[in-house]
Amino acid sequence: MREVAIVGAAMTKFGELWDRSLRDIGLESGMLVLMDAGMETEDVEALFLGNMSAGRFIQQEHIGALIADHAGLADRGIPATRVEAGGATGSLALRQAYLTVASGAHDVVMVGGAEKMTDVSDRDAEETMSFAADQEWEVFFGATLASLYAMMARRHMHDHGTTPEQLAHVAVKNHAHGSGNPKAQCRNKLTVERVLGAGRVAEPLGVLDCSPISDGGAAVVLTTLERAKEITDEPVIIRGSAQASDTLALHDRWSITSQRATRLAVQGALSQAGKELADMDLMEVNDGFTIAEIIALEDLGLAEPGQGGRLAEEGVTALGGDMPVNTSGGLKARGNPPGATGIAQIVEIYDQLKGRAEGRQVADARVGLAHNVGGTGATVAVHILEVA
């Protein structure tokens, strides 16, 4: 396989983008990333597009063609492929693009992720997000993603003594990070008291433990390492790309306080990269709910099982800490349009490795990891980027 590098990364502002449709968001992401890469649409040989549920959100399928059309790529017949895996949609689109360049089939590939959630009611949006869980065994009986993650949180508290305050610290940290990110949806700072006092969604999770409903898009351009070196002295290389599955329904897992797919994916990505977790300078991990970041960091290996709650509480994962996590604000504060989230994580790592994450820069960042989760953990992808 050929080595693959990222030569451009960009995203729209995330938020409630009332004035823009999905095609507008796709077009904006595409224009921004080409400007960043110093390329023209004519340079792009293929498009991969992450979108979770435009069929539900805007009554439109065939999303690859839609975005290729509106980004001006259809004029030349450029192949466009939509990929979907719940919240892990973006990173799977990235992985397909990575494999396409690695295979030799194409030299320059654009990967976008986009979602438009706010054309339906909040209730419909939440219901559709839950379609990443198991319809027949979970959703049909009233479970939502929030209530399923609430079960994980309760069990984590029961088994390991994790506290509501520790959950709240994740939200406080990620909002603090997001306040420094002009593209973030939520730039307000929080306190532990405020998170604990917020309206309850599914005990022990309140509304400030949950990522928001978001519109937004993000995109990156991949090419061969050779070609990247012609463009820049410091290419950002995809050192590891791995993906794993687990059962769709939570009750089929051996544990609900650990996500096996995360363990498999991080193992795969680190081994391909020839690195250890301690080599990372920063990580973007799944924090769709506060408990999710705690579980993710345990499964990634930053904390022992059950000890993840301490990390945000003790400042380990804050900017300036030993291992900054979700410097973008994460899903929690940057926002979580599911098709775009996995790509937005890559945009953050890229910006950090390029030293251009103004207002939230991790000093001397050289290696970063992105961890993207679909549903309650049935799909996980991990990517490791390094600036050479």
Q: Which residues bind a second copy (CB under 8 A)?
A: 1, 21, 23, 52-53, 55-56, 58-66, 68-69, 73-74, 77-86, 92, 95-96, 99-100, 102-105, 128, 131-136, 139, 242-249, 252, 260-261, 264, 374-375, 378-379
What is the Cα–Cα distance from 244 to 381, expressed in whole angstroms?
7
- Nearest approach, Cβ of residue 242 and a second copy (Å): 8
**Closest approach of a second copy to the CB of residue 334, in Å:** 22
Query: Would you tell me how many other CB atoms lie within 10 Å of the CB of residue 104?
Result: 10
Question: Which C-beta is closer to a second copy: that of 63 or that of 219?
Answer: 63
Residue whose entry in the numeric block shows the structure tokens 């960042």:
365
Cβ proximity to a second copy: between 84 and 287 the closer is 84
Our CA angle for 176, 181, 184, nearest 5°, is 90
Q: Which is nearer to a second copy, 146 or 195 (CB)?
A: 146
Best CA proximity match to 299, nearest among 344, 332, 254: 254
* Nearer to a second copy among residue 253 and residue 332 (C-beta): 253
Compute the least distance from the CB of residue 79 to a second copy, in Å.
4
DSSP-derived secondary structure for 124-151? HHHHHHGGGS-TTTTGGGT--HHHHHHH
Q: Which of 9, 33, 29, 39 is nearest to 230 (CA)?
A: 39
**Minimal distance in Å, beta carbon 336 to a second copy?**
15
Give me the least distance between CB of 254 and a second copy, in Å please: 10
Rounded Cα distance, 369 and 85, in Å: 19
- Residue with Cβ nearer a second copy (129 or 312): 129
Helix (H/G/I), strand (E/B), else coil: 306: coil
CB of 218 to a second copy, least distance (A): 19
Nearer to a second copy (CB atom), residue 193 or residue 252: 252
- Cα–Cα distance measured from residue 150 to residue 291, given in angstroms and rounded to the nearest whole number: 8
Cα 326 from Cα 55, distance rounded (Å): 30
